[in-house]
Amino acid sequence: MKMNVLISASVLLIGFISIANSYDFDRKQLSMIENMNEVRKKAADKFGIADMQKLVWNKELQDHVDRLDYKQLPKPEQLMGRYRLVENYETGGTRLFQSLNELKDTSLSKFDNQKDPNKYRHKIEHLNPLQNMVACVERADGTWMPGFKVICLLGPETKLSKLSKHAPNQPRCTNELKEDEGGLCTKSNMSESDQLMYISVLNKRRREIAVKNGSVASELVWSKELQTAALNFLQDPEHLLPQNRNWRITSFDSYENGLSYLPEGSETIAAKMADTMEEVEFEIQKEQFFLKQTEIACVSKDRWIYQYLCLLGPKAETIEFCTMTTTPAHGSTIAMRTRFTTEKVTPEPAPTHPKELQDYEEIDGDEYDEDFPTGTPSYKKSPGTRFVISFLVFAYLIFATYLQ
């Protein structure tokens, strides 16, 4: 009996630790945003709508939508934008496409009917062309309205915008807006949803490490200048570092892996200076955790060592890192090292937690707090808090066992 309780308690504790060590993105939300943008593009094509802007994930809107009270949805004028209800993440995208096929010109006329601009218009809220920010949340324990588990907040417009249309031979994007590869209109200084979400989660991770080390972490913000520098670096077949650079490098296969912090045993990559040919080393599981860096930009290219190359600035010299202790994932204190050559590249280190915990996370898949919305969504919840709770549960079960 005691052994069974101990095993159960251990499994429970492992589950909590697995969650506590997870810094996953809301991949389902990113997929929903991608579907919304595809529907917006098709609607612009179908009805000749001009200036249909691309929706990009926004942290400020995310914080706002996370605080919404599901018991009483606010009026649009009380929000930082307008909202669109969706059935769920699994089938919501398909339903958006079906709704577009059913959409008629008469439905779009509601954009120009400004008698009640604050009224919720379910069929066209996600087609408001001047909206360019979005954040969604899915309720795990119920619905916002019957049949709708997801609410997406779109901004910055708080009222329906009047539609403008373009002639078949005229540009679909006007003024400062430019047409992107996906056929939507964007401003030149905008990033992508997955990158902005990565920066947000990375900032949270940096703050946690800083607290453990009695430090203060600067907030990283996306930089258009660093994005340009990253693209220029990749275009150079020799991958030489410019003399006047004000950045350092990290690289990884996925944004999730870009949250891995190894103060000891980090993999090292090296590049040469363009003027002196001197080699400069970068520790790619540490660079993004230098707390004095304030800017970041990432690009994805097939010809790079890993899928993503990120530049962090404005510091370019060797710097002091956080000192939180951990065990290298590859079981050795000797770091892997890669040069920018045609030689075969060493593989990226495995995740820093055991395989059984990876399996647990994949099977579990629950990204939301069951107490939502009064609780904090799981991707924003403090891992330290969950660890303390799991430890107390573990200790209680052991104590109760020995009393029997």
User: What tens digit of pLDDT does each residue of 279-292 get?
Assistant: 999 999 999 999 99
Domain match, 276 and 314 both: yes
Let me know whether 209 and 279 are in one domain.
Answer: yes
| Mean pLDDT across 168-187 | 92
pLDDT at 276 over 50: yes
Of 190, 211, 242, which marks where a domain is finished? 190
How confident is the prediction for the chain on average, in pLDDT?
78
Least confident window among 299-308, 316-325, 389-398: 389-398
pLDDT tens for 6-27 read: 333 333 333 332 223 334 579 9
295 Cβ neighbours under 8 A, 6+ residues apart:
220, 221, 222, 223, 225, 226, 247, 312, 313, 314
Residues 6+ apart with CB under 8 A from 234: 299, 301, 303, 304, 309
- pLDDT surpassing 60 at residue 140: yes
Distance, CA of 196 to CA of 87 (rounded, Å): 25
Verify that 112 and 158 share a domain, yes or no: yes
* pLDDT of 3 above 60: no
H runs (alpha helix) in 129-214: 193-212
In a domain, 345, yes or no: no
Is residue 147 one of the residues assigned to a domain?
Answer: yes
**Strand, coil or helix: what is 365?**
coil
d(CA 12, CA 19): 11
pTM of the entire predicted model: 0.73
- CA–CA separation, 52 and 126 (whole Å): 11
Same domain? 56 vs 41: yes
